[in-house]
Structure 1
Amino acid sequence: MTETTDPVRPIRFDAGQQPDGQGTTTTKQLYADPTGHFQAGFWSSEPSRSEVTYAIDEICFVLEGTVRLTDAGGHAEIFRSGDSFVVPAGFKGTWENLEPVRKFYAIHKPATG
């Protein structure tokens, strides 16, 4: 008996992909596992600042732009094109796009019990 699996699919950055207008973001999910606990995709946004509380684990790879993450204790980290980072579930702080940002992301959503 032969098992079938999904084929490997390339994910390519589309430099023409732009946010959806006035300061909004574009999110394009490119993959989700059958359980919905793991997802990956592309995200872009214009400069903005948001207070965030993460209920998921997310790994980000910045394709373009600059992001500043500041935790609730005031510690800030800056990530630029070519950088990758993990935002763990439970993170509380501020996410700032200091210029237009484009990234690939992969998230893990813990099972709710």
Structure 2
Amino acid sequence: MSKLQRLPASVGNAESTPIAAEKLISGNPTNMLNNMFTNAKENFFCGVWSSTEGKWELNYTEDEFCYIISGKAVITDADGQSETVEAGDAFTISAGFSGSWETIGEVKKFYAIYEE
């Protein structure tokens, strides 16, 4: 039987997830990941992620839905087009996206990831 699972806006049981040195562009960000749900097929995940200030390269193999809980970030695609996202913004990033993520100060988001 399925049940409703609420996801608190917390990184309480989070794991530190460092940025690989070869992807780091600037800063020394600390990322925290609290994955709160993984489906039976292990291809759908959701939870809360946060980061301190820094900038790194992105190369998405998954589709992701994000909702910014607090803070601000700048996402730039491979063509140099930038979007600023901040608290209250919801957006998706599709598999195949490449570019960069820059956290301004600190940011926290809900995420839902689907992988083929």
Same fold? TM cut 0.5: yes
Q: 1:84 and 1:9 mapped to 2: Cα distance?
A: 20
| Residue aligning to 1:109 | 115
The normalised TM-score by structure 2 is: 0.83
Structure 1, 87-96 or 7-16: larger mean CA deviation: 7-16
Q: SS where residue 10 of structure 1 aligns?
A: coil
Normalized against structure 1, the TM-score is what? 0.85
Higher strand share: 2
1:70 corresponding residue in structure 2: 76
Following the alignment from structure 2 to structure 1, what is the Cα–Cα distance between the partners of residues 76 and 97? 10
1:29 pairs with 2:35: yes
- Please give the root-mean-square deviation of Cα atoms over the aligned residues, in Å: 2.0
1:14 aligns with 2:10: yes
Q: Which of residues 86, 99, 113 in structure 2 aligns to 1:80?
A: 86
1:12 Cα deviation after fit: 1.3
Cα-to-partner distance string for 1:57-104 (whole Å, 9 max, x where unaligned): 001000011011100001000000000110100001011101201100
Report the CA distance shift for 1:14/1:43 in structure 2 as closer, same or farther (over 3 A): same
The code of the aligned residue for 2:31 comes to T
Give the whole-Å Cα distance in 2 for the aligned partners of 1:93 and 1:25: 18
> Equivalents in 2 of 1:98, 1:31: separation in Å?
27
What is the aligned length?
Answer: 105
Stretches of 4+ aligned residues off by more than 6 angstroms: 15-19
Q: Choose 1 or 2 for highest CA Rg.
A: 1
